Amino acid sequence: MSTYAVTGAASGMGRAVADQLRTAGHTVIDVDIVESTVTADLSTPAGRRSAATEVLERADGRLDGAVMAAGLGPAPGRDRPRLIAEVNYFGVVDLLEAWRPALAAADRAKVVVFASNSSTTVPVVPGRAVRGFLDGDLEKVLRTLRPFGKQAPTFAYAASKVAISRWVRRTAVTRGWAGAGIRLNAIAPGAVLTPLLDKQLATPAEAKQIKRFPVPIGGYGDADQLADWVVFMLSDSADFLCGSVVFVDGGSDAWFRADDW
Ligand code: NAD
């Protein structure tokens, strides 16, 4: 049986993944701002440091895998772009960098990061913000997003997901992670019925946009089905999966980018 760290495990898809892993007999170290095995606020550097350290202590220095599901959606609010940036990008990168030795200590460790199909379907995501993330420069990200005003959370969200997808692909194959036996991949869901989406659907303007968005297969994704994909990506069957972003989005990415190959 294996030991996994799962962030965002108190709700939605992270919770569904943690439940499935526990039911299969694995040990799950769950991390969330809501009371959990490791309770931490991933929107601050101190919270990320304490989460990283406590997980390593509980895992005894060896992690078979990690699932990075903590995230914030593009809800309105002045401070929202910062929170999105801190949790969706730095809340993944800082923890995984800290856990790398523990992942390398396991045999064929697997990491699944929650990206989003917003990374390919939101138009004109500011490249400067994406570069700011990849440079680790939060102030540059926020400066770039400020002129977007009320739309800033939408672009912060999309930029955080573009950046985390790029970080996953680069880190998987050019920074020694593959050589250390760690399989680093991302999953890019479309709209999945979770509390995050419920909050967006409760706002009339956002609900209108979500309902107008092209989903060729129709409807919304199911959190347990997305968790099935993640659990598969953690399994031995995924030994040859490395640096991939797996879209599970009812066809929206294909609708926008059918000819991008
Ligand atoms: P959710 O809101 O149900 O769960 C997110 C979890 O993250 C919650 O348990 C929350 O407490 C935790 N979290 C938020 N801020 C935190 C903080 N500061 N510190 C620690 N934990 C914090 O959301 P979900 O829909 O299950 O989303 C999971 C992931 O999937 C997110 O990264 C999200 O961006 C991504 N995603 C969701 C959808 C969707 O439609 N639901 C689509 C694409 C991508």
Residue 122 in contact with ligand 1 by CB distance below 6 A: no
Residue 120 in contact with ligand 1 by CB distance below 6 A: no
Residue 71 in contact with ligand 1 by CB distance below 6 A: yes
Helix residue ranges per DSSP H, 105-222? 118-121, 127-134, 138-145, 152-174, 195-201, 204-212
Q: How many angstroms separate the CA atoms of 141 and 169, rounded?
A: 20
Residues 177-204 pLDDT 10s: 999 999 999 999 999 999 999 998 998 9
For the CA atoms of 54, 59, 65, 67, what is the dihedral angle to 10 degrees? -30
157 classed as catalytic:
yes
Which residue's CA is the closest to the ligand 1 atom numbered 35? 114
Give the containing element (helix H, strand E) for 183. Answer: strand 183-189
ipTM of the complex as predicted: 0.99
DSSP string computed for 202-220: TSHHHHHHHHHS--TT-S-
Tokens of 243: 């640096």
Q: How many angstroms separate the CA atoms of 258 and 2, rounded?
A: 38
Pick the CATH number of 3-253 from 3.30.1330.60, 1.20.140.10, 3.40.50.720, 3.40.640.10: 3.40.50.720
Residue 156 in contact with ligand 1 by CB distance below 6 A: no
* Single-letter code of the amino acid located at 124: V
Per-residue pLDDT of the chain (261 residues), as tens digits, is 999 999 999 999 999 999 999 999 999 999 999 999 999 999 999 999 999 999 999 999 999 999 999 999 998 999 999 999 999 999 999 999 999 999 999 989 999 999 999 999 999 999 999 999 999 999 999 999 999 999 999 999 999 999 999 999 999 999 999 999 999 999 999 999 999 999 989 989 889 999 999 999 999 999 999 999 999 999 999 999 999 999 999 999 999 999 998
The closest-lying atom of ligand 1 relative to the alpha carbon of residue 83 is 18
Q: What is the CB neighbour count within 10 angstroms for residue 60?
A: 10
Which residue's CA is the closest to the ligand 1 atom numbered 28? 69
* Single-letter code of the amino acid located at 233: M
The closest-lying atom of ligand 1 relative to the alpha carbon of residue 14 is 26
Residue 191 in contact with ligand 1 by CB distance below 6 A: yes
* Single-letter code of the amino acid located at 94: D
Q: What is the pTM of this model?
A: 0.98
Best residue among 13, 79, 168, 220 to mutate for probing ligand 1, ranked by most atoms within 8 Å of CB: 13
Which residue's CA is the closest to the ligand 1 atom numbered 6? 8
